[in-house]
Amino acid sequence: MKELGVIGLGVMGRNLVLNLGDKGIRVSVYNKTKEKMYDFIKDEVKGQSVLGFDSLEEFVSSLERPRKILLMIKAGEAVDSMIGQLLPLLEKGDLILDGGNTHFKDTAGRVDFLKGKGIHYIGLGVSGGEEGARNGPSLMPGGSKEAYFLVEDILLSIAAKTDSGPCCTLVGEGAAGHFVKMVHNGIEYAMMEGIAESYDIMRKILKLSPVEISEVFENWNEGELNSYLIEITGKILKYKEKGTERFMVDLILDKAGQKGTGKWTAESAFDLGIPAPTLSTAVEARVLSFFKEERQFLSKRFNRNYPKLEYGKDEVIRNLRESLLFVFFNAFVQGLWVIQGASKEYGYQVQLSEVLRIWKGGCIIRAQLLDFLREILQELDGEKLILKSDKALKYLMDRIEAIKEVTRLAKDFYIPVFAHNTALDFFFSMMEENLPANLIQAQRDFFGAHTFQRVDREGTFHINWE
């Protein structure tokens, strides 16, 4: 019988254990707070083969060699502390998997450290939240093939399934799994921001009620925009507070949290020198939302001259749909470019098409668009920049008038649309042979003797500008 040890019975750990149990895998579990383990075995385990242990020694001894232990605990120091406690109990050839949202650099350090001790280590990206963990998440393991083969069948069995197979593959070497999961979340931030901007325009310019906007999203979910995030947005918008006629969305304070992976994606893009403005601006928009008191104060001091809306409702909604596709597409283009940059820099050897495949089910960014992106990548024959494909360019150019209208409309009505603006500016910049970076180079050379290159001669130049 296949078996796995799981440490950490929080939201994710508990649901993954039940999912493993459903697939006939024997699971040994351990949790720092013992009562939670006892409660879990008593209340939630129903017919699955799950054994609970309140001592780490007994937990490890219950596993056959090579032991395979999945950590589903808080990322950071807790993981180092747990590895420290496990090490004296493990033997060469055993495997630890970290399924938390760990920073990929921490994972890289742990892979190296444990390699020296003969212990395999997999940084396992897990997406899909509680529901995904229970019924089939998207799994993004990274590490050596040898380590992956120890758990491949187990991971494939619990992953979400789509018409393209189970949503799990070895995404690459070293910390590739956590890197890819991080960028998944960065793309998620951008998609959510784009959706929120569409909602804002429908609410404030078209004056639609939440339930009317919900119908628009439901309708969009039937077509090219079909995705998990569009689907849940439709559900959220029609949800009324229990026992009242008030829409829940109107009762929620407009301060958006951000726990780190979006920020890490933006930081990584900067570190790698890869442009990902729509991903990073989505983090900025959340950070800005936190300044509620300041916004309240300032909003009363800003006079707006609203123009007359020149378009009909249906036309605005049509443009919003096409624009959102433009935003989604560019978010994926940027995210994949960041992964490609990291793969080159850190030697991950990521297959982008496989990443798109395993994002098709179980995860938060699953979307119909992924099939089209895979088709483009397959046609590109080794070239990874999706924008270089004729199909991709046509797709975006077919939507350019729509997003120009939407961004114009947003400005006319004083509505911030960070994701739409950056997606369009990213596209314009990539389509432009001559950017004003020549002037910036001149300024840098003027005040800092940073030197510049010339278009007409080889070499590096500096001028005494005065």
Strand partners, 123: 98, 142
* Least separation in angstroms between CB 101 and ligand NAP: 3
C-alpha pair distances (Å), 156 with each of 24, 217, 250, 354? 13, 32, 41, 14
State phi, psi for 205 to the nearest 5 degrees: -95, -45
Helices (H), 413-456: 418-430, 437-448
C-alpha span between 167 and 359 (Å, rounded): 7
- Residue holding tokens 């018409």? 163
Q: Are 360 and 370 in contact (CB under 8 A)?
A: yes
Segment 308 to 337, residues that bind ligand NAP, using CB under 6 A? none
When binding is defined by CB under 6 A, the residue of 9, 192, 282, 339 that contacts ligand NAP is 9
Q: What is the CA radius of gyration of the chain?
A: 25
* Closest distance to ligand NAP from the beta carbon of 421 (Å): 29
Q: How far is the CB of 259 from ligand NAP (least distance, A)?
A: 7
- Which of 173, 188, 284, 354 is labelled catalytic? 188
Q: Name residue 81's amino acid.
A: S
The reply to whether 12 sits near ligand NAP by the rule CB under 6 A is yes
The piece of 61-69, 95-103, 145-153, 266-274 that touches ligand NAP (CB under 6 A) is 95-103
Tell the smallest beta-carbon distance from residue 368 to ligand NAP (Å).
23
Q: Of 126, 150, 187, 191, which lies in the binding site for ligand NAP, with binding defined by CB under 6 A?
A: 126
Query: Beta-carbon neighbour count of residue 382 at 10 Å?
Result: 5
- Is 188 catalytic? The answer is yes
For residues 5 and 3, what is the distance between their CA atoms, to the nearest angstrom?
A: 7
Nearer to ligand NAP, 32 or 161 (CB): 32
Does residue 101 belong to the site contacting ligand NAP (CB under 6 A)? Answer: yes
CB of 189 to ligand NAP, least distance (A): 14
| Strand 161-162 versus strand 3-7 pairing type | unpaired
Q: Does the annotation count 432 as an active-site position?
A: no
What single-letter DSSP state applies at residue 87?
G
- For ligand NAP, give the closer residue by CB, 80 or 379: 80
Residue 464 C-alpha from the chain's centroid: 47
Close Cβ partners of 289 (under 8 Å, ≥ 6 residues apart): 254, 255, 256
Choose, by CB under 6 A, the member of 3, 10, 215, 384 that binds ligand NAP: 10
Residue nearest to ligand NAP (CB): 10
Please provide residue 33's backbone torsions phi and psi, each rounded to the nearest 5 degrees. -85, 110
**Token pair recorded at residue 354:** 């496989």
Scanning 6-14, 47-55, 103-111, 205-213 for contacts with ligand NAP by CB under 6 A, the matching segment is 6-14
Residue 50 touching ligand NAP (CB under 6 A): no
Q: Which 8-state DSSP code applies to residue 28?
A: E
Question: Which residues, numbered 53-92, are part of the site for ligand NAP (CB under 6 A)?
Answer: 72-75, 78, 81-82
Nearest distance from C-beta of residue 365 to ligand NAP, angstroms: 13
Could you give the string, one character per residue 24-43, with x where binding to ligand NAP holds by CB under 6 A and - elsewhere? Answer: -------xxx--x-------
User: Annotated active-site positions, please?
Assistant: 181, 188
Which chain residues interact with ligand NAP by CB under 6 A? 8-13, 31-33, 36, 72-75, 78, 81-82, 99-101, 126, 129
